[in-house]
Amino acid sequence: MRAYVAAPLCEGARRELDRARGRAGEVKVRAVCLPPTRVGGRLDLAALGANARRATEDSAAVAYLGEPDPVATRFSLPILDEAGITLLQSSSGSGAMSQLLTAIGNSDTSSSLREALHESQR
């Protein structure tokens, strides 16, 4: 399974994933670091949309780890929701990845993990 991670959270998310040896129970998890969505301190909506769409095009994607930004959320959440990808927001990449790994570990992996995570976060 793959988690798509916003650029500012990537380092912390990868550290947490390394600590967990790349697994949540029996499920192998990989972090995909996304390009930055801020240019000169301003949010680039085209880049944000491209990042969200990239996650939706990956059948192994189960989550999108993003910063808690209301504008970014309003823009990317409908794209992610349409594909059933869970948006986890945190100012800490480590915290967001830890939350994801716990959610995966607590999910019923006999069905679609993407669906199970998405439903559990509603």
Q: Of 48, 49, 24, whose CA–CA distance to 38 is shortest?
A: 48
For residue 88, what are the β-bridge partners?
A: 65
105: pLDDT confidence band, cut at 50, 70 and 90?
confident
Q: Per-residue pLDDT for 115 more than 90? A: no
DSSP 21-41: TTEETTEE-EEEEPPP-EETT
DSSP code of 99? H
CATH tag, 2-120? 3.40.50.2300
Mean pLDDT score across all residues of the chain: 92
User: What does the pLDDT read at residue 122?
Assistant: 61
Which contiguous run of DSSP H or E holds residue 97?
Answer: helix 93-106
Helices 93-106 and 10-19 cross at an angle (nearest 10°) of 50
pTM higher than 0.75 for the full model?
Answer: yes
Largest CA distance in the chain: 45
pLDDT at 111 over 70: no
